[in-house]
Chains A and B, each alone.
Chain A
Amino acid sequence: MGTAIDSKAIEQRARSAAVRAWLRYGVVAALVVMLLALVAYFTRGAFLDPGNLINVLRQITYNAILAAGQTFVIITAGIDLSVGSLVSLCGVVMAMAANALPFHGVALVAAVLVVGALVGAAAGFINALPVVRLGLPPFITTLAMMLMARGLAYKLSHGRPIPIDSDAFNTIGIGFTLRGLGHLFKLPGIPVAVLWMAVVLIVSGVVLARTRFGRYVYAIGGNIEAARLAGIPNRRVITAVYVISGICAAVASLLLLARFQSGSPQTGFGFELTVIAAVVVGGTSLFGGSGTIAGTFVGALLIGVLNNVMNLANVESYTQDIALGAVILLALILDQVRKRIWS
């Protein structure tokens, strides 16, 4: 028969899948390279300075971590608008905990992280509850949470940043690691925060691509009814993705807390939009069912590079917004073109 299943055909398919993957990230990568060239020109080499490159990585840490959590949510065809406010709320609560808990050093950091993660997870759970029980749109429930969490953060902190007394957070905030690697580039090392980001990205990437849970996330986004009839515990999986997003907010918040040595109710203001932009620029469909963590990282990187470059080139902030918006649009258009070509 014409379409016998021979291993050669399968191999060929696998190879063309690899080509496809290259093309997919290639588009974004090409954009980055083009930008780099422009940048190197406008900033007279300041951008390519290893110190600056590390700086870019450090700057995107928060966005990338939040976007990793958001990727789970968006693949299920949901959205989490509350992450910015949750960063603020977790920051305030964690700062209070840091000053109140009777621990020191690493133990204190761990305990504070646990407190923050509980807050983030609880908020994610509440986000998901009306979605899975009543079928309310996540756009609305997370919008409500955005307001509530923001209000709560202001109330708890009386509107002022809460400084932390302990110096246990210094390592995460400003510390470096992998000094050997750093010396190669004449740097003090890799910022600890960047390492945290790497861990979050790798773990989420593996969970999404390789585990049963990850498969369920894609299935729900692709066809929620087929998923339900296949016996997938839809409610639990959907709840889990909002909890994951909440926990990511807590982790990002911890890094910010460590960096600024205080928890402020204003920290996360407006974060949700850049987070969603990173996810979408990274090729995840807002309609659900497709997307990757690797793509999200590239998206966050692209936005980070752009910001960095414009800062170096002394572009004033309103122009920066215009450029950022244009690039997001362009990236999405390119992504669509790529899909057209390949379908």
Chain B
Amino acid sequence: MPEPAASALLEMRGISKSFPGVRALDGVSFEIRAGEVHALVGENGAGKSTLMKILAGAQPADAGEIVMDGTAVQIGGPRDAERYGIAMIYQEFNLVPQLDVAANVVLGREPVRAGGWLDGGAARAVAAAAVKQLGLELPLTIPVGRLAVAQQQMVEIAKALVRKARVLVMDEPTAALTDREIDHLFETIRTLRERGVGIVYISHRLEELPRIADRITVLRDGRVVGGGTVAELPQHEMIRLMVGREMDQYYPPLPPLDPAAPVVLAVRDLRSGSVVRGVSFDVHAGEILGMAGLVGAGRTEIVRAIAAADIPSGGEVSIDGKPLHAHGPHDAIAAGIALVTEDRKGQGLVLGMSIRENVTLPHLELFSQRFGFVDRASEGKATRDLVQELRIRTPSIEQRARNLSGGTQQKVVLAKWLTERARLFLFDEPTRGIDVGAKAEIYELMTELAKQGAAVVMVSSELPEVLGMSHRIVVVRDGTIAGVLTRAEATRERVMSLATTAHGAA
């Protein structure tokens, strides 16, 4: 690994930023050197995204300065940032889905012929060169909307390269990727690093940092609380800095399974869309069932079909022995099913609404009086209790969901389904984008729900989490169940082999 050059390419000094009721950043200093990967970590709401938005000109700072190559610069908007070679890849990509890969890569700097005509050939050449430099293979003439998430991300990186980015910021780039795709991404990042690009890498997956990062800076409550090289900061030390206390026990002990516990959820030959092709399994009261498999294996579709978010095309779902004939989520909710979706912005939250309004939405009837009037006082009380229970960081329950940090939004989605304790909880990637402290809290919450007699299904792409948190593990492959493992049988290798090979049934 080449030693990073000691001089800073870019420096942020004493950056402060407040939102109404929130001090998001408080005198933060942060530097990026050429040819290094600098990881930025911290709890949800610590201020990571805000710091990077200031760098990208998406938000103005209240105080502080940004120094590039030794001179102070003003970044008043995204155009300035681009001029200084700062590129940012947000979790929601900035791509035009209808345009093809080449057109997206050159977007905004399309090569033109005399007279202003677009030069498609030159565009493809430019894009092809960028893709090649990154050591990638991308189909240049396919609309970006049809690519997989990981490929779209590569398009973003190619775009940054064409813009001659010297600093590249990636906000949680691995959150939606498979292990394979992550390996690929890391290789691309290394290529960029060798070319002298300074990379800021934000992630909640601390275990991946030793593989990719050179240096680490830890933020807590809008301040820098520590930093150093990867070697200087082992994971437990990083966590201690992030949460401000020692965190020894990561996965809580699972409550023992009562062998006589009744079956809460019975799924028989469930079929849905073209993806779910005959799935059967049971979940007992007090049990946490992990659902593992590759991205695209059909796990999300299975839980959606159970919760009638998609109407199954065949098979049967019963709750407490009673067959469920749901015509939509409404019926499933009435039967005691809670689906905590993976995509919080698209399906989980009404971003323009307050935390209170979001939290009470699925069970508003519990907060209604005569004539359908909503009782705001009782709404407020229930919401405040949940905000406390889940340690949701917000100045007020009236804060709009749009203004919350990514992980905080995820907690609000969880809170929505806790106003009324359901019989069956279906968690789809419940800890995606959530910090270590909050993860532990969510695990705690799941075991608590199980202890109270609910059945819990947890879909997760993070194997350690599935292994650590499940009584049993169902492995899904190609829309069918490839095998069921008990906690004792389950190992990383067995789960992976079931998930990937065509004949590994247990």
Contacts and interface: CB of A to CB of B under 8 A. Distances in A.
Contacts of B399: 13
A203 B416 CA distance: 29
Contacts, number: 111
Interface in B325-361: 328-330, 332-334, 339, 341, 346-353, 357, 361
B329 A226 contact: no
B394 interface: yes
B22 interface: yes
B361 A230 contact: yes
Interface stretch (B116-124, B225-233, B259-267, B370-378): B370-378
B350 A223 contact: yes
Contacts of B346: 223, 225-226
Contacts of A218: 350, 352-353, 357
A28 interface: no
B395 A230 contact: no
B329 A231 contact: yes
A21 interface: no
A2 interface: yes
B20 A226 contact: no
Contacts of A17: 398
Given A9-B21, A9-B396, A231 B330 contact: yes
A155 interface: no
B330 A222 contact: no
Contacts of A340: none
Nearest to A12: B21
B384 A229 contact: no
B181 interface: no
B398 A212 contact: no
A227 interface: yes
Interface in A214-256: 214-216, 218-219, 222-223, 225-233
Given A222-B352, A223-B351, A2 B23 contact: yes
B365 interface: yes
A225 B347 contact: yes
Contacts of A222: 350-353
B238 interface: no
Interface in A185-230: 210-216, 218-219, 222-223, 225-230
Interface string B315-330: 0000000000000111
B42 interface: no
Nearest to B339: A229
A163 to B, nearest CB: 40
A57 B199 CA distance: 63
B345 to A, nearest CB: 8
Contacts of B352: 218, 222, 289-290
Contacts of A12: 21
B357 A10 contact: no
Chain A interface residue number, banded: 20 to 34
Nearest to B45: A3
A317 B309 CA distance: 54
B388 A1 contact: no
Contacts of B348: 226, 229
B297 interface: no
Max chain B C-beta neighbours (<10 A), residue from A16, A216, A222, A228: A222
B374 A212 contact: yes
Nearest to A209: B374
B446 to A, nearest CB: 20
Max chain A C-beta neighbours (<10 A), residue from B21, B350, B352, B365: B350
Given A3-B395, A229-B329, A212 B364 contact: yes
A227 B347 CA distance: 8
B222 interface: yes
Contacts of B350: 218-219, 222-223, 226-227, 289
B399 to A, nearest CB: 8
B361 A13 contact: no
A106 interface: no
A5 interface: yes
A215 B329 contact: no
Given A2-B393, A223-B349, A229-B347, 4 more contacts: A9-B395, A211-B371, A223-B350, A228-B328
14 contacts: A5-B384, A5-B396, A10-B397, A13-B396, A17-B398, A210-B374, A212-B374, A215-B374, A219-B350, A219-B361, A222-B350, A231-B332, A232-B361, A289-B352
Interface of A: 1-3, 5, 9-10, 12-14, 16-17, 210-216, 218-219, 222-223, 225-233, 289-290
Top 10 A-B pairs ranked by shortest CB distance?
Answer: A222-B350, A231-B333, A2-B221, A13-B396, A230-B362, A231-B330, A211-B372, A230-B361, A223-B350, A212-B372
